[in-house]
Homo-oligomer: A and B are copies of this chain.
Amino acid sequence: MKHLAIVLLVLGVVFAPASCTRQESYDVGQIRKSIEEVNASYGEAIREGNLAGVVAAYTDDATMVPPDGDLIKGKQAIEEFYRRLLQMGVKDIVLTTIEVEGSGGTAYEIGKTKIRIQPEGQETTQDSTKYMVIWKRQADGKWKVQADIWNLSSR
């Protein structure tokens, strides 16, 4: 039995990290908590008009799939998208997570937003969307958005 125990130990060390990248140590509850933290920081950055803080939620090669127009690819294009959004008078985007599934280094989130828009000198309007986001865990353990699509709700 001692012999078998040593073999098990060696196999565990050799095989587990190579093939599974320690998936089992990140459960979906922890992933959801991390995602909701990033979403809260994102909302705060929108309210502050802090463009760098907004795009910090995205990976360098992230893709956005907007309702109108072409795919938006890469951090620079995403920054340009949000620059225009802020210029249009978007003052707040509150994200509410509905469901998260995933394990290991990738997860997807379905959620909804409430958006407050107030162009200069005009009245405030509200908008709402539903979205799906692909999240990727980075080398430093932080979660970032790899892909982002949304649609307009109830209109």
Contacts and interface: CB of A to CB of B under 8 A. Distances in A.
Interface of A: 3-4, 7-8, 11, 15-16, 19-20, 23-24, 63, 65-69, 71, 98-99, 101-102, 106, 108, 110, 130-132, 134, 146-147, 149-155
Contacts of A155: 68
Q: Determine how many copies of this chain the complex contains.
A: 2
B150 A151 contact: yes
19 contacts: A4-B7, A7-B7, A8-B11, A15-B15, A19-B24, A63-B99, A63-B110, A65-B130, A65-B131, A68-B153, A71-B98, A101-B134, A108-B134, A108-B147, A131-B149, A132-B132, A132-B149, A149-B150, A150-B151
Contacts of A106: 102, 106
